[in-house]
Structure 1
Amino acid sequence: MSIPQTMTFVKTDAAGGPEVLVAATGPVPAPKPDDVLIRVRAAGVNRPDVAQRQGNYPPPPGASPILGLEVAGEVVAKGDQVTAWAVGDHVCALANGGGYAEYCAVPATQCLPWPKGYDAVQAAALPETCFTVWANLFQMGRLAKGETALIHGGSGGIGLTAIQLAHAFGARVITTAGSDEKCAACRRFGADEAINYRTQDWAAEVKRLTEGKGVNVVLDMVGGPYIAKNIRSLGMDGRLVFIAFLQGSRVADADFMPVMLRRLTITGSTMRPRTTAQKGAIAGELRARVWPMLDAGRFGPVIHATFPLAQAAAAHRLMESSQHIGKIVLTV
């Protein structure tokens, strides 16, 4: 398979608004011994991309400075240590960076096959959300069948994936979203209860819906004033898992006595700094436990909009507007 020496990618010369994202030409990356080189057909757009563009989420040492943490396409080359994939395989991958481009080098263990019947756009919408939800809601949050999960930001890519996975594994799902339309979408994709946080006191609603018992797990990407209310909303042995602070505040004035009285666990994580081995282990669990559900059509990504690679700025404007329901994907 012929590989060119140069490619089109999205460049960011300086931190700033969406307008700093411009198409440019640069060298095709060379795969490391444990990498595959993917000819990108589609790339997902995620909140960490926005944060990196703004200068608030620098790539870890050794990662590509190009934006983009998930891609789907064909393997066109591979390092000499790679045995799991062959040239021509269709894969989607959790990238360490470099996704907004025609070619992206990714550790082979962070790749997964396209689920049955999927196209590139659908496949590209999977990795970032599936890796994040599995690691945080199921591994760290230990959500189990019959428990109740409170998922904030239910109408975004992470939220809808969390709702669908929690529902598929037998949990009751309560979620919050910012409009009646978004709440309806959350219910359509598996939420048992959806609370419009703009018109209702979500903590009071959670207390009512759980008859005062509280929920078992909270998946929070908001932070700020939600932190104290999350603690109040957890039942005995409850787990609070942070994955982002979209309200910008990581500091809260909260009563922590319930942490002792109800044996609560407060934890959280980011995906990007994890090692290749750690990400590979998550990929292995996804392939064994989640990919069969995708193959069977039990749930799947919700695509809100697609944009050509050169219109990455427009994709970021849409994401920052929070008007989307589901995933935003770039086509290459």
Structure 2
Amino acid sequence: MNSPYATILDNRDFNPVAWAEKIDRLLRDGKKEDVAYMLASISNKQRQMLREPYNTKYGKDIVAALDKKFSGDMEKLVFALMDTPLEYDVKQLRGAMKGLGTDEHTLIEIICSRTPDQLRAIRAAYEREYNKQLDKEVASETSGEFKELLVNLVDGSRDASQDTNDAAAHDDAVRLYADGKGKLSAKEEHSNFLKILATRNQKQLRKIFAEYERLSGGPIEKAINKEFKGDLAASYLAIVRASSDKQAFFAAQMYAAMKGLGTKDNDLIRAIVTRSEVDLTLIQEEYLKLYNKSLAEAVKSETSGTYRDTLLQILHGNREFA
């Protein structure tokens, strides 16, 4: 079922056999820009439906055919469009931990913003694809409370229900307030932030954060910035923001990807593509409110060529064909 806040919906004019043939013809004619626009005009489900007729008629995988025609950021964007959301998350996590260095930003965004059900599916798919356990991979690439937080989330510590409890929210807020008052030096092995933010469901977290603000007179983000640094602070902030206002969280992710010198294109692609069939319409509204500039304007100023035009097409959406 299409989300009412998606920009990309099922295209009523889509025919998998006809579109597979047209894509092959365009690739052979060197019109790869037209292929990119076609892929951005259909839903992910419909892109998956291209695979079988293309392979049947031409004896090769459509992604392999596309890979030979695109490069750089455009290649990343095409791969993001052609993977299922689950496949894409798994590959992004693998890429964040493969080779020298770790891309903590990607780990934080995916692990701290996905639902318990999504993380369960990611964990199973990761092991299936790479024959490695995701929690052990994450543990080997991180350390300290940051490691414990991510491993707990990957392992499914978060309550998957929608249940809330006002008294429990008050008690948890008191514990967080105690940590935020500078008492972390006397804490146990890990902070109450870990115990609470890694386990409570998103609706309960919103109650806890509201109660915390009532007790302390300030937002919980202020305490996190005071008591934690680096990746741990970023991960706790990601949980708070993704729980409180997911659209504002992803608007901020997109802003950060384009802020300063150079564009973090992988981060920009991931945020736009993964939200295109979820809530990208709302994210664009939030972006305009937060930064007094449309997301499309920002993308237009930070990117170029077919890559820019394809991103803009995803932002504009395909509702006229739905």
TM range (shorter): 0.3 to 0.5
TM-score where L is the length of structure 2: 0.33
The structure where strand makes up a greater share of residues is: 1
TM-score where L is the length of structure 1: 0.32
The structure where helix makes up a greater share of residues is: 2
Q: Which has the larger radius of gyration?
A: 2
